[in-house]
Amino acid sequence: MSHDYMRHVVQSGDPEALLNDLMQTYGEDVWKYACFLTKRREAADDIAQDVFWKAYRHLPSFRGECSVKTWLLRITRRTALNYLRSAFVRKVMLAGLFVPSGSHRSAEHAAMDRQAERDVWEIVLGLPGKYREVIVLDAHYELSYKEMADLLGISEGTVKSRLHRARAKVERKLKEDEGE
């Protein structure tokens, strides 16, 4: 979805159609990112609704300096971080939310693959936030370094450095766990 398309729809007087397109195209990404940040499915539901309401209200001010996806994830991040700052939030562990669907292998192999993926995500979720976030944006959302830098408000060099360190920490922890 391009900036020109968004501008055309807003100018044509049908921003509701654009909102529906945004929700259809990016709804799952927004919800999963909100869930990753808050570690609460119920919060992700509320945050996703809030994100699309904010996007709807600010459609005319979208300048196209980043992709629509990056813009929505940036709104998601701010909204989720505000949620986390609220006095009502308790720390809850996230379990198995980002496990990709399995392949058509034997049930035993599929179960082993799912367990391995859960082990990796458990390690990722145990990393400090600045490392955890770049891994998820890279591995799950497949954002470019530039998109991650824009979203997080840091330089591309910092993104690359954090991603390198995060991967090294995960690899080191996996090797330690193998030795047990």
Q: pLDDT tens for residues 137-177? A: 888 788 889 999 999 999 999 999 999 998 888 888 877 77
Q: Residue 52 and residue 76: Cα distance in Å, rounded?
A: 9
Q: With 90 as the cut, is the pLDDT of residue 93 above it?
A: no
Nearest to 149 by CA among 58, 66, 72: 66
Mean pLDDT of 78-87: 75
Q: Is the pTM of this model over 0.85?
A: no
Whole-angstrom CA distances from 20 to 56, 89, 95, 143 are: 10, 30, 30, 23
**pLDDT band at residue 97, thresholds of 50, 70 and 90?**
very low
pLDDT for position 106: 62
Q: Residue 40 and residue 138: Cα distance in Å, rounded?
A: 21
Phi then psi for 66, rounded to 5 degrees?
A: -140, 175
Using only C-alpha atoms, what is the Rg of the chain? 18
Q: Residue 59 and residue 19: Cα distance in Å, rounded?
A: 9
Alpha helices, H only, the chain: 3-11, 15-38, 41-57, 68-85, 107-125, 129-139, 145-152, 156-179
